[in-house]
Amino acid sequence: MTTSIGIELNPPARLLMGAGPANVSPRVLRAMTAPLLGYLDPDFVKIMDDVAVMLRQVFGTKEGFTFPVSGTGSAGMEAGLANLLEPGDTAVVLEGGFFGERLAEIAGRLGATVISVKGQWGAPADLDQVRKAVKAQPKVKLIAAVHAETSTGVLQPLKELGQLAREHDALLLVDTVTSLGANHVDVDAVGIDYTFSATQKCIGAPPGLAPCALSPRAMEAIAKRTTKPYTWYLDIGLLRRYWEGGQRVYHHTAPMSMVYALHEALRMAFEEGLENRYARHRRNGRALRTGLEALGLKLLVPESSCLYQITAVHIPAGIDDMAFRTALLRQYNVEIGGGLGQFRGKVWRIGLMGESSTAANALYLLSAFEALLPRHGFEAPAGAGVAAASRALAAEK
Ligand SMILES: Cc1ncc(COP(=O)(O)O)c(C=O)c1O
């Protein structure tokens, strides 16, 4: 057998405007090259504590326990479900998209009785339907929802879910993978008991960590479990002894370069100001939406329930999805997302997340669409997208 020494590592600097990862600031990438420290080095513990404090601020919780799970967003999802549910518990899951379905799938694998509230993809959940589903059960342990459904671009309002969970003494678990950094999450105000996010979307770091927050109620529920969580690696009781308190106990080797990246990304978010950051996502997303509509494209989600960091747009009849996205990638160096699940081949998902959310990126994407759409069989009015988006941006100044 001949030995391969591998290919030269030379990935192109792509403009990432899909469903994540988004582009990352050079400052964050530079932080990842800082010297490694031991997993219990006092200087590393200081950085861990600082990350936990900044996470409390971005999640909007004073009392909660915050830390990043070592793993991507799905690890944060699995950690929450595996620690809060025991076999035989009932979970009501809002399934209005691909990631709602993932929540239900994991809860089912854990041996929970899953009551799915299947909503229409592209709309928030019908609260009456959720209320009915909860009331119909003798005891609901957990209500689970996705705040920002990346597969459709829908924002799920949370306030009523928090109230419903309290009324029925249920825990509320929320996926904030795509919302954290672009929308208010407000863990304490809403009454969220467990939430998880991911570093690669609107927070502005590479993929690899799942920032989480737990309420005191969630910690109490974990302490009262009658069985150990099936997972040792994602056992939050054990992880807490590593991430909190005076006497730290080794659990696993923290990916410190990723912790540095998250630290720097959070610092950048606070330097910008959270409100300014949310406004930036809104402004650029709104301009993109305006421009796409001016090109004659149909948006999936009306403005009343849309996310500005990810916009789903119907693929016009006759356009070959893969051929179009390949042309964008090869000729314009831009990645956009395809559809997931039932939307595969039916929608494109355009992200303006974190570092990628700039007016220049929105305008560049629109100009690329203006050039490419006619070549792929869709007559878009020349110049209309960029002009409309520019006007929308100017109006917001
Ligand atoms: C809403 C949502 N939840 C969960 C995930 C899973 O995160 P990851 O791919 O980082 O495991 C994603 C990923 O795109 C997501 O968008």
Q: 283: number of CA atoms within 13 Å, CB side?
A: 19
132-162 pLDDT, tens digit per residue, is 999 999 999 999 999 999 999 999 999 999 9
Please determine, for residue 358, whether its predicted confidence score (pLDDT) is greater than 80.
yes
Q: Residues 6 or more apart from 160 whose CB is under 8 A from it? A: 127
- Apex 18 CA angle, 109 and 176, nearest 5: 45
For CA atoms 270, 271, 277, 278, the dihedral sign is positive
State in Å: Cα 8 to ligand 1 middle: 30
Go through the domains of the chain in sequence order and give each one's CATH number. 26-270 (3.40.640.10), 274-396 (3.90.1150.10)
**Of 177, 202, 258, which is best to mutate to test ligand 1, by the most ligand atoms within 8 angstroms of its C-beta?**
177
Instruction: Provide φ and ψ at 387, rounded to 5°.
Output: -65, -45
Task: Please tell me the residue having the least CA distance from ligand 1 atom 8.
Answer: 73
Report CA(331)–ligand 1 centroid distance (Å): 28
C-alpha of residue 74 to centroid of ligand 1, in Å: 6
Confirm or reject: Cβ of 67 under 6 Å from ligand 1. no
19 lines ligand 1 (CB under 6 A): yes
Residues 6+ apart with CB under 8 A from 325: 335, 336, 338, 348
- What distance in angstroms lies between residue 59's CA and the mean position of ligand 1's atoms? 17
Cβ(198) – ligand 1 distance below 6 Å: yes
Distance in Å, CA 76 to ligand 1 centroid: 9
Name residues whose C-beta falls within 8 Å of residue 284's C-beta, 6 or more positions apart in sequence: 308, 352, 357, 358, 359, 361, 362, 393
In the 3-class helix/strand/coil scheme, how is the chain assigned residue by residue?
CCCCCCCCCCCCCCEECCCCCCCCCHHHHHHCCCCCCCCCCHHHHHHHHHHHHHHHHHHCCCCCEEEEEECCHHHHHHHHHHHHCCCCCEEEEEECCHHHHHHHHHHHHCCCEEEEEECCCCCCCCHHHHHHHHHCCCCCCEEEEECEECCCCEECCCHHHHHHHHHCCCEEEEECCCCECCECCCHHHHCCCEEECCCCCCCCCCCCEEEEEECHHHHHHHHCCCCCCCCCCCCHHHHHHHHCCCCCCCCCCCCHHHHHHHHHHHHHHHHHCHHHHHHHHHHHHHHHHHHHHHCCCCECCCHHHECCCEEEEECCCCCCHHHHHHHHHHHHCEECECCCHHHCCCEEEEECCHHHCCHHHHHHHHHHHHHHHHHCCCCCCCCHHHHHHHHHHHHHC
For ligand 1, whether the C-beta of 178 sits within 6 Å is: yes
197 CB near ligand 1 (under 6 Å): no
Nearest CA to ligand 1 atom 9: 73
Q: Which of 15, 44, 46 is nearest to 333 (CA)?
A: 15
- pLDDT over 90 at 170, yes or no: yes
**Under 8 Å CB-to-CB from 24, ≥6 apart: which residues?**
204, 205, 206, 261, 265, 354, 355
Q: Give, rounded to a whole angstrom, the gap between the first and last alpha carbons of the chain.
A: 63
Place of tokens 């001016």: 294
Q: How far is the CA of 219 from the centre of ligand 1 (A)?
A: 24
Q: Residue 69 and residue 186: Cα distance in Å, rounded? A: 20
What pLDDT does residue 397 have?
Answer: 74
Helix axes 359-375 and 384-396, enclosed angle (nearest 10): 160
- pLDDT at 1 (0 to 100): 81
The CB of 145 under 6 Å from ligand 1? The reply is no
Nearest CA residue ID for atom 7, ligand 1: 73
- Upstream peptide bond of 21 is cis (omega within 30 degrees of 0): yes
| pLDDT tens string 85-127 | 999 999 999 999 999 999 999 999 999 999 999 999 999 999 9
> What integer best gives the mean pLDDT of the chain?
97
Provide the token pair at 250: 């080794």
User: Does any ligand 1 atom lie closer than 6 A to the CB of residue 146?
Assistant: yes
Q: pLDDT by residue (tens digit) across 299-325? A: 999 999 999 999 999 999 999 999 999
Per DSSP bridges, beta strands 347-351 and 310-314 are: antiparallel
344 HSE (CA, 13 A, CB side): 4
Nearest to 349 by CA among 16, 11, 123: 16
Tens digit of pLDDT for each residue in 247-292? 999 999 999 999 999 999 999 999 999 999 999 999 999 999 999 9
Q: Counting atoms of ligand 1 from 1, which one is nearest the CA of 207? A: 10
What digits encode the pLDDT tens for the residues 66-89?
999 999 999 999 999 999 999 999
Q: Which atom of ligand 1 is nearest to the CA of 146?
A: 1
pLDDT for the residue numbered 246: 87
Which of the four pLDDT bands, split at 50, 70 and 90, describes residue 376? very high
Question: 234: number of CA atoms within 13 Å, CB side?
Answer: 23
CB 239, CB 11: distance < 8 Å:
no
- Mutate which of 121, 178, 183, 262 to test ligand 1's pocket (most atoms within 8 Å of Cβ)? 178
Q: pLDDT at position 396, please?
A: 86
- Phi, psi dihedrals of residue 264, rounded to the nearest 5°: -70, -40
pLDDT bucket at 211, cuts 50 / 70 / 90: very high
Q: Is 72's C-beta closer than 6 angstroms to any atom of ligand 1?
A: yes
From 69, 70, 99, 149, the mutation candidate for ligand 1 (largest count of ligand atoms within 8 A of CB) is 99
pLDDT band at 60; cut points 50, 70, 90 = very high
Q: Is 393 in the pocket of ligand 1 (CB under 6 A)?
A: no
Residue 20 Cβ contacting ligand 1 at under 6 Å: yes
% of the chain residues with pLDDT over 90: 98
Binding site membership of 65 for ligand 1 (Cβ less than 6 Å): no
Instruction: Kindly report the backbone phi and psi dihedral angles of residue 234, in degrees, each rounded to the nearest multiple of 5, phi listed first.
Output: -105, 20
C-beta of residue 218 within 8 angstroms of C-beta of residue 84: yes
Cβ of 150 closer than 6 Å to ligand 1, yes or no, is yes
For ligand 1, atom 13, the nearest C-alpha belongs to 73
| Ligand 1 neighbourhood includes 209 CB (under 6 angstroms) | no
Q: Which amino acid is at 307?
A: L
